[in-house]
Amino acid sequence: MSIPLSKIRQIGDTYYLSGELGFVKDDQPVEGITAQTTLTLERIAVTLATVGLTPDDVVSAACYLTDPADFAAFNAAYAPFFPGEKPTRTTIVCTLVVASALVEITVIAQKKAA
């Protein structure tokens, strides 16, 4: 099935990434919030790399969790991904469209001036 979205869009020096999930290639989620958060962030890093960006270029993140009890474990997995200046962040607890997903993250990144 074709999904009606772009994985990444550029406007000027700013890049908008679609939401990413912690799923492996066969569309199966990895187990647990820590593993899903880590894989989600790794997938974001791969997408950023396709346009010459790194996690250091992320200026904003929107994070969606399905269970508020996962917040501490999510934070623990999220923090190492941004060792420098932290992006702004919104974290929302909600139901995700994909029932087995525990977390979805979308980011906005900006290419730094040379």
Dist. CA 13–CA 30, nearest whole Å: 33
Which band of pLDDT confidence, cut at 50, 70 and 90, is reported for residue 26? low
Left (φ > 0), alpha (ψ -120 to 50) or beta: where does 32 sit? left
pLDDT tens digits, residue range 57-107?
999 999 999 999 999 999 999 999 999 999 999 999 999 988 899 999 999
pLDDT band for position 25 (50/70/90)?
confident
Could you read off the pLDDT of 35-46 as tens digits, one per residue?
999 999 999 999
pLDDT at 2: 62
Predicted TM-score (pTM) of this structure:
0.93
Please name each of the domains of the chain with its CATH number: 8-110 (3.30.1330.40)
Q: What is the DSSP letter of 74?
A: H
pLDDT of residue 55: 97
Residue 52 is predicted with a pLDDT of 96
Question: 64: which 2 tokens?
Answer: 């969606």
Which amino acid is located at 91 in the chain? Answer: T
Q: Give the model's pLDDT for residue 86.
A: 95
